[in-house]
Amino acid sequence: MKRRDFLKTGGAAIASGALLGASGSLATSCLSSMDPDSKLGSTDVLVVGGGPAGVCAAIAAARCGMQVLIVEQGNCLGGMATRGLVAPFMTCYDATGEQMIIRGIFEEIVDRMVALGGAIHPREVRAGTPFSAWITTGHDHLTPFEPEIMKFVLDQMCDEAGV
């Protein structure tokens, strides 16, 4: 489906949702217009957007036993981190630079990319290095990564979780 067609369909769905009022769920109106054989018609969780937050939400929900469908307008997962080439990930350490505080699925993604040679673990990247553009303030423990490796890892993790 082309983006323009998606937006037209979404606009029609929003308009019909407004006509249905608060009691008629927008999700219900969208799902009822879908092909009954599609996965979308029987999903527990619909994640719209396959950027880092959407992918982590989808994986977390699937790991909790939900049937999850992720919808992404682009041709890959990762959003601006992959398609927009926005890198590196900024620090995941506390303000002192002593302890990694952002962990969980993010850390799993980083560890997998490191294992494939597609990232440098943030514990190895200090402020003032070429990876931080020689900036020191707020740029300690960055995570440089290869976008193509990240796409692969996100696809793999979503597949493993059943997304």
d(CA 159, CA 20): 36
Checking if the pLDDT of 24 tops 50, the result is no
pLDDT value of residue 127 = 87
Tokens of 121: 């673990």
With b for 16 or more beta-carbon neighbours within 10 A and e for fewer, the 8-17 pattern comes to eeeeebeeeb
- 47, containing H or E segment: strand 45-48
pLDDT value of residue 71 = 94
Share of the chain above pLDDT 90, in %: 53
d(CA 126, CA 62): 35
Model-wide pTM > 0.75: no
pLDDT value of residue 1 = 55
Q: What is the largest CA-CA distance in the chain?
A: 56
pLDDT value of residue 34 = 56
Q: Which residue has the higher pLDDT, 132 or 90?
A: 90
Checking if the pLDDT of 97 tops 90, the result is no
Compute the average pLDDT of residues 73-86.
Answer: 93
Checking if the pLDDT of 41 tops 60, the result is yes
Checking if the pLDDT of 50 tops 70, the result is yes
Banded model confidence at residue 121, pLDDT cuts 50, 70, 90:
very high
d(CA 135, CA 133): 5
Checking if the pLDDT of 113 tops 50, the result is yes
Cβ neighbours for 19, distance < 8 A, ≥ 6 positions apart? none
